[in-house]
Amino acid sequence: MKLIMWYALAVLCTVLPFAASAQAQIQIDGTAQRLDARIPIAVPPCAAADPALKALATELAQVVADDLAFSGLFQVLPADKYPVGFLALDPDVQKLNRDMWASTKAEHFVFGNLKQEGDQLVTEFRLFDLLTKNQVFGLQLKVDKNHPRLAAHHFSEEIIRNLEGTPGIATSEICFSAGATGSKEIYVADYDGANVQQVTKHNSISIKPKLSPDGSKIAYLSYKDRYTFLYVFDRMTGKSVPLSKEVGLNIAPAWSPDGKTLAHVLSKDGNNEIYLRDADGSNLRRLTRNRDVDTSPVFSPDGTHIAFVSDRGGSPQVYTMDINGENAQRLSLQGGSSYDPAWSPDGKYIAYVAEKRGDGLEIYIMQSDGSNAQRISDSQGSNESPSWSADSRHIIFSSTRNGQKSLYTFSLESGEERKLPRVSLSCEGPSWGPRRN
């Protein structure tokens, strides 16, 4: 019975005294409270000498503005607060009236210019400090005309890097499973829900995807060959190959930081245990050896430890162990059962899922030593499968709070929860990938 219960969980799901940034301090206690120290910034529509590019120029500026607002670090100046008489930017940056924009409440200003050269779009972006009237930095990017948003995403990442120190995550992607009961496929999308693309076409149930550290591969669980086997989808070739097809359960894949190894869970010896194997499926080795259920492994960013879930203490809880399976220590102590750990890329925190009183599950965060556990979600329904952004500032998770399984993000900077826009599918099991070049 215990094996069946844990297997069902793996299929269906699988304030912190944060170090204050220069821009914001957060207290999390179920509801977010903060002093608004976001950087005021103006992002008007980009200039475009070609009238045919005007609409796209407006869209790209909005992408930059949305990226900056999502980061939790910036307050984007609304259009009704633009200088009186402003109509549009001139493509010639020398004609920019910096004094006029300095009269607004913005401290920084984004200048953008768009033109086309053959099949490529040439985007020119500049960031100005309105207090000094000086340019902070500029960036010219050439992108395929079919992927113009990527240039805006790159620029917003660089704005955040220049003003805060760590680049944003606007070029990153997410993957997730989506579909109706009895038929789920793996999808990928931009971090903001744009450009949703179906990856697998197995006409089966494929769930719990995990993007590799370089974003080129996706490990996932699928019933496409009748049983619960693990596969790896290569995004370059479009081919899916078996990773693990052992007798019994093959579940919970997790990539090592260098992408050369995967941890996963097998029941081939009569009990759920954690194993490692090379990314090509070879060199299987067992880590855990006990009569209790061990599952949901995830590597620490430095690759020296693994967080996992075990009921060796009586109920499912989050533990860590050395990479060789030794020195297991319990971390989650808030009461109730805990599941599905996710280690932040900076190594400071572990997000996980915990039962709440009554029905449902909530997302928690604790420091990587198990201290200062705090709840970050507070809603009806179940909140599951947390995954971190590359900058360790955001968490994506699935939630049933509105009836249908949907994806939400939480910002450590602002304390805000947001439903992922542009995705109308029933989604679960998200995995947040790396930045793209």
Q: What is the pTM of this model?
A: 0.89
User: pLDDT (tens digit, 9 = 90+) per residue, 322-359?
Assistant: 999 999 999 999 888 999 999 999 999 999 999 987 67
Closest CA to 315 of 339, 337, 297: 337
Question: If pLDDT is split at 50, 70 and 90, which confidence band does 145 have?
Answer: confident
State the pairing for strand pair 183-190/173-180: antiparallel
Q: What are the φ and ψ backbone dihedral angles of 19, each rounded to 5 degrees?
A: -60, 120
Question: Are 287 and 271 contacting, i.e. CB atoms less than 8 angstroms apart?
Answer: no
**Residue 218 pLDDT > 70, yes or no?**
yes
Whole-angstrom CA distances from 67 to 104, 156, 200, 205, 427 are 21, 6, 28, 33, 22
**Which positions ≥6 away from 301 have C-beta within 8 Å?**
257, 343, 344, 345, 346, 347
Q: Which tokens sit at 102?
A: 């300095």
d(C-alpha 293, C-alpha 10), whole Å: 12
| CA distance from start to end of the chain | 47
Residues 125, 131, 136, 141, Cα dihedral to 10°: 0
Question: If pLDDT is split at 50, 70 and 90, which confidence band does 35 have?
Answer: low
d(C-alpha 100, C-alpha 87), whole Å: 13
Question: If pLDDT is split at 50, 70 and 90, which confidence band does 20 have?
Answer: very low
Question: Hey, which residues does 274 pair with through a beta bridge?
Answer: 265
d(C-alpha 68, C-alpha 164), whole Å: 12
**Counting Cβ atoms within 10 Å, is residue 90 exposed (0-12), middle (13-18) or buried (19+)?**
middle
Q: Which residue has the tokens 């855990």?
A: 288
Domains of the chain, start order? 36-164 (3.40.50.10070), 172-432 (2.120.10.30)
Whole-angstrom CA distances from 26 to 29, 30, 350 are 10, 12, 17
User: pLDDT (tens digit, 9 = 90+) per residue, 64-120?
Assistant: 999 999 999 999 999 999 999 899 999 999 999 999 999 999 999 999 999 999 889
**Residue 46 pLDDT > 50, yes or no?**
yes
Q: What is the DSSP letter of 80?
A: G
Question: Are 249 and 228 contacting, i.e. CB atoms less than 8 angstroms apart?
Answer: yes
User: pLDDT (tens digit, 9 = 90+) per residue, 245-283?
Assistant: 999 999 999 999 999 999 999 999 999 999 999 999 999
